[in-house]
Structure 1
Amino acid sequence: MRLDKFLCESTDFTRSMARSALARGEITVNGEVVKRATYVVQDTDAVAWEGEPLAIIGLRHLMLNKPAGYECTNKTSQHPSVMDLLDVEKRERLHTVGRLDVDTTGLLLITDDGQWTHRVISPRHQTDKVYLATLAEPLPDDAVQRFADGMLLKHEDEAVLPAHLEVVDPTTARVTVQEGKYHQIKRMFGALGNRVVTLHRERIGSVVLDPDLAPGESRYLTDAEVQSLGGMEPGETA
């Protein structure tokens, strides 16, 4: 990697700021001042800016306990962004792995690893997404079967994939789906003549929302959690 690009990746420098710092002799590599933007940084090189060691920010994978009232976006809107809840460097590089509605709470994955995101959300990987829903009205007796059969929702040409519905009590249910169509769960309950009052995502694949995270708090995924969701299949290449 070129030295000027390395500086941009490891600091808040723009390319012009990086070149200015180089020209002023503020950058050292292995203790020696280097002013050439085209210098190729090796893995073993120790790069510093005014004596402060610099390092590339690696790929990041986080879970957030999303509170209600936040949008899954990087852009300013009528609601605050979930990115505002993160205390990490260069958060503008991050994106959400799928989305939750403004009023939906719970497990949200955030990363800057595009290949990992693709593997998590790819329909062929059939990743379970588990939600707890509270409802305005009691569930009908045939609700479990209708979810299992797959439903043709309004404005859709094909039925959604079969979903698992676990009745917790007459107005509370746990739903497991493997896709994420627009407002899908709310629309599925709407097809039963019901309305979702609250919706909370508990799990994606084998990754469960950390019970120690209060709403608005986040943590990095463990290596095992990252691998469980985005590990490559045999024969698959990056």
Structure 2
Amino acid sequence: MRLDQRIATSSDLSRKDARRAVISGRVSVNGTHCKSASTHVHEQDQVMLDDRLLTLPGDLYLMMNKPAGVISATTDSSQPTALDLLPANLARHVHIAGRLDKDTTGLLLLTSDGQWSHLVTSPRRDCVKTYRVTLAEPLPDEAFVMLEQGVQLHGEDKPTQPAHVLVHSETTIELTIREGRYHQVKRMLAAVGNHVKALHRLSIGAITLDDTLAPGQYRALTVDEISAIRERG
């Protein structure tokens, strides 16, 4: 790893500011001042910035209550992203595990662990997701049955896997699915003649959105939450 990358990874400095710190003589490696940002350093090397030892972070696992109006992307030149809601020293290390549409709110998982992320998103893992769905019209009994049996989506060869539907009111349901097809929930409701007015993800696998998080807030996952994905999906 380059020295400037190591500094950016283990501090709140950007890569550009890390290079400046090296050039200005603020950095030492194993007790020796170094002014070359491209110097290769190993994990066991001691890197000091202004006499402060920089330690590499471990893997990060976060949940966010995603607000409407932000996209699930790392960067975007024209629209706000979910990562824009994180401090820079966290945002540069994580990616999104299981995206949400711009207008969809609720549970968003972010991590620096690529293998763990794959367990969340891999179709083979059968990782269930539950959504609170606000409908334009009441859901008739026949539509309820169709959703729980699997519906044929426009333009696809195979029907969806059976979903679980829990009715809260005439126009509010909880829908649990095991797949992650493009705009799946909205398309499923369209297939039974309805329209989604609002969509909010409540859970992924055994991880449930912390109801103390306001829109845009985040917290670290607990050890049990992290392990639940590895063990069961």
TM-score interval, normalised by the smaller of the two chains: 0.7 to 0.9
Aligned to 1:136: 136
Aligned to 1:65: 65
Q: Spell out the pairing of 1:1-238 with structure 2 (5 A cutoff).
A: 3=3, 5-11=5-11, 12=13, 14=15, 18=19, 25-29=25-29, 31-33=31-33, 40-41=41-42, 43=44, 45-76=45-76, 78-231=78-231
- CA distance, structure 2, for counterparts of residue 27 and residue 50 of structure 1: 6
Q: 1:192 to 1:53 in 2, by over 3 A?
A: same
- Checking the alignment, whether the CA contact within 8 Å between 1:162 and 1:177 is kept in structure 2 is yes
Q: How far 1:2 moved relative to its partner?
A: 6.2
Q: Does the residue aligned with 1:89 lie in a helix, a strand or coil?
A: helix
Q: How far 1:23 moved relative to its partner?
A: 6.4
Which piece of structure 1 moves more, 102-111 or 26-35? 26-35
Gaps of 5+ in 1: 234-238
- CA distance, structure 2, for counterparts of residue 162 and residue 214 of structure 1: 32
- CA distance, structure 1, for counterparts of residue 28 and residue 61 of structure 2: 31
Output the amino acid matched with 1:84.
D
- Checking the alignment, whether the CA contact within 8 Å between 2:166 and 2:175 is kept in structure 1 is yes
Q: What number of residue pairs does the alignment pair up?
A: 231
Q: Provide TM-score, normalisation by structure 1.
A: 0.85
- CA distance, structure 2, for counterparts of residue 55 and residue 35 of structure 1: 19
Q: Does the residue aligned with 1:176 lie in a helix, a strand or coil?
A: strand
Q: Does the residue aligned with 1:6 lie in a helix, a strand or coil?
A: helix
Once the two structures are superposed, residues 94-122 of structure 1 have per-residue CA deviations (whole angstroms, 9 ceiling, x without a partner) of 22112111111110111222111111111
Aligned to 1:236: none
Q: 1:77 to 1:102 in 2, by over 3 A?
A: farther
Q: How far 1:231 moved relative to its partner?
A: 4.7
Gaps of 5+ in 2: none
Once the two structures are superposed, residues 117-164 of structure 1 have per-residue CA deviations (whole angstroms, 9 ceiling, x without a partner) of 111111121111000111111111122321121111001121111111
Q: Does the residue aligned with 2:141 lie in a helix, a strand or coil?
A: coil
- CA distance, structure 2, for counterparts of residue 58 and residue 141 of structure 1: 49
- Checking the alignment, whether the CA contact within 8 Å between 1:144 and 1:164 is kept in structure 2 is no
Output the amino acid matched with 1:61.
Y
- Checking the alignment, whether the CA contact within 8 Å between 2:106 and 2:209 is kept in structure 1 is yes
Q: Provide TM-score, normalisation by structure 2.
A: 0.86
